Amino acid sequence: MIDGMSLDIVPDDPALRLRSVSPIDASFIRHLFEQVRTAQFTATGLSGPIVRQIVAQQFRSQTTAYATQFPEAISLIVTRDGTAIGRLLLHCAREHWHIIDIALLPADCGLGAGTKIVEALGAGARQHGVSALTLAVLAANQGARRFYQRHGFAETGALGAAHVAMRKDLAA
């Protein structure tokens, strides 16, 4: 809900849906984070208990930071045919919607779900008279940066040493 209005983000794929997070989703959200981040750390050569410890610490830190920075964020679970495959955390302001976090299970990446979600976000934002989508992406995550650029986002500058700000202006 935004200002009492329903938030309709409907991907153009009948198998994909977004639903509000419920308490039973806590273990899935933790599992998703572990799947995404463990792969990132093992690529650096780390393994075993060290990776598990770092990932657990990062999960707690990220959860706390998001709750502090975006207390009114909308948390959604991405499902394919009713099975949870990802998460979208969104902050909706009048002038722009900020994608705080979007993640899919590694097995579900590259199958079009991310594209459908970004397209649905743009359509939903336009329906609410919102002029832009914004996000921050890790500067080192070249794959994500290219993905967003292919979908109309432009880099608008550095956010600290580790992140790049991106924006997609939405035509009325």
Sign of the torsion angle spanned by Cα atoms 9, 148, 158, 60: positive
The contacts of residue 1 (CB under 8 Å, 6+ apart) are 7
pLDDT of residue 2: 44
Cα 57 → chain centroid: 20
Q: Which two tokens stand for residue 150?
A: 């292919």
Dihedral angle over CA of 109, 115, 118, 123, nearest 10:
-150
Instruction: Give residue-wise pLDDT tens across range 121-164.
Output: 999 999 999 999 999 998 988 989 999 999 999 999 998 888 99
Q: How far apart are CA 24 and CA 125, in angstroms?
A: 28
Q: What is the per-residue pLDDT for 3?
A: 45
Element (H, E) at 6: none
Torsion over CA: 167, 170, 171, 172 (sign): negative
Beta bridge partner(s), residue 156: none
Q: Phi and psi (nearest 5°) for 145?
A: -60, -45
**3-state secondary structure (DSSP) of residue 139:** coil
In tens digits, the chain (172 residues) has pLDDT values of 444 445 678 788 889 999 999 999 999 999 999 998 887 777 777 777 888 888 899 999 999 999 999 999 999 999 999 999 999 999 999 889 999 999 999 999 889 999 999 999 999 999 999 999 999 998 988 989 999 999 999 999 998 888 999 999 997 5
